[in-house]
Structure 1
Amino acid sequence: MSLLKRNNALTENGFTNTVTTDNHITTRGSDWYFAVTAIMAVSTIAFMGLSFTKPRSQRLFHYITAAITLVAAIAYFSMGSNLGWTAIQVEFPRSNPKVAGDFRQIFYVRYIDWFVTTPLLLLDLLLTCGLPTPTIIYTILMDEIMIITGLVGALVKSSYKWGYFVFGCVAFFFVAYTVVFEGRAHARALGQDIAKVYTVCGVWTIFLWFLYPIAWGVSEGGNVIPSDSEAVFYGILDILAKPVFGALLLWGHRNIDIARLGLHVRDPAETDVQGGEKRAVNDATNNNTTIVDNATATTV
């Protein structure tokens, strides 16, 4: 019965942080955040379970993808619990009662989630296409700039927030160029099957990421939509960009040996087995050679 009790997160955690805000999520928004938490948690379990269908040396993408949804589950649990936020004075006060008030609830925990998970998403993609390590590092740096400027902009009350928005968009275009053009060129060189997986997952990701600045502009930026609508907008995007992306990626990787991507993961257990097999073959070969030599000697 305790699992069926009413959601009391908003009552227990309240809306007084640095200041009190009236422009915040309702119980419906909290319920939605908890629903997304469940989706992320189930996805994490599924991805980790699927990893056991592969040898340990082939589980890299399963581990990265499961880490993405695990971090997201923690972030959404925090937001559903009405934690990890602060109240920021809005630049554009609205007459609509659903977004009325001088202060808006800003979930900074969402950006902590993205700071960890978006580089992992890019790592999933850019390792798939075999992009050089320096390019991967620089692309992830641009991604981190995109996330940090989004957070800083959300926490600024004046029009200067849009300057950070522009910096973030410029960084995003660099990331998009690398994924769409450089990544696809490298993926084609690795084989048609790899190119197909990369193209599907890459286009899917960049298309969704183009929608995030729109969500930011009508919520943290412009204070156009209420916090519950913000929760639904970001939640749907995150579900598509993380669990659905992960399912597409791992399905595509099911028959791809990561050694084809230039990745070599050493597993001592597999190495010992392979070493034992090689020794057995060598011993058999040596024995056969001895027998042949003896037979030859006898014949002579």
Structure 2
Amino acid sequence: MTVEAFAPAKINLTLHVTDQRSDGYHLLDSLVTFVDVGDAVTVEKAEKSTLTVTGPMAAGVPTDSRNLVLRAAEMLGVPAKITLNKHLPAAAGIGGGSSDAAAALRALTTLYNLALPSVSDLLSLGADVPVCVPATLARMTGIGEQVAPVVNEPVWPMILINPRVSVPTGPVFQALPSKNNPPMPEDFPDWKDWDTAAAWLTTQRNDLEAPAIGAQPSIGQVLTELHDSKGCALARMSGSGATCFGIYFDDDIRDRALKKLRGDFPNWWIMPTRPLGHPMA
């Protein structure tokens, strides 16, 4: 028996850093969505766990215990032959490793008929893993352990761009001038009204955007190109970078912007996408 699970890219539509705990962990208030671009994890029973990485982004991905996919199998205590088909760039602010681990957990618990681990166990794999397990529009708070689903997700056309640079998360957080920033409002807009929802998002922030641009100025260029593309309702960086996203309201307008951006910047990773609009099974 073989079980496959999709590992969608995680997009921080907002990311507000609201405080820092005495142990160094930052408190966040983030609106997170998941899109139809991602990796795939395939598992089957075996005598011992192994990991093979394939796909266009396989180069440099570890196949030992440094990979969260193997650590997820170890957490469950079940051996498996695991294949990770890698399509997302690494260290890109779109939760690739965390989403891979979450997909491995979904696949392995199905394969072995097990319950998913507790939130505290998920956190031991990474702060983004709890939100990546259901992989649906959610408000993520605390250090990542508090995940509240949000209904009526807008599935607007989007473009993802990574200028093929890596941004280390730690230094970006350290460069943040203030660790005590306002959270999002308690009430969200009507997500079924795309214009209102996008206008509301423009009033929110990614607090890590400025320090990430300081570390990698090409992120600023990406945001400018997205913002200036015709029909873009919002351009913002995801996570700690370097991937940025643009939101559009029409597929044709998005696709024309996509064609131009790919023509102007052939060396960038540029992908069309849209939110999944439903939780992962």
Taking structure 2 as the reference length, the TM-score comes to: 0.28
Structure with the bigger RCO (C-alpha within 8 Å, sep 6+) is 2
Taking structure 1 as the reference length, the TM-score comes to: 0.27
> Computing the radius of gyration over CA atoms, which structure comes out larger, 1 or 2?
1
More helix by share: 1
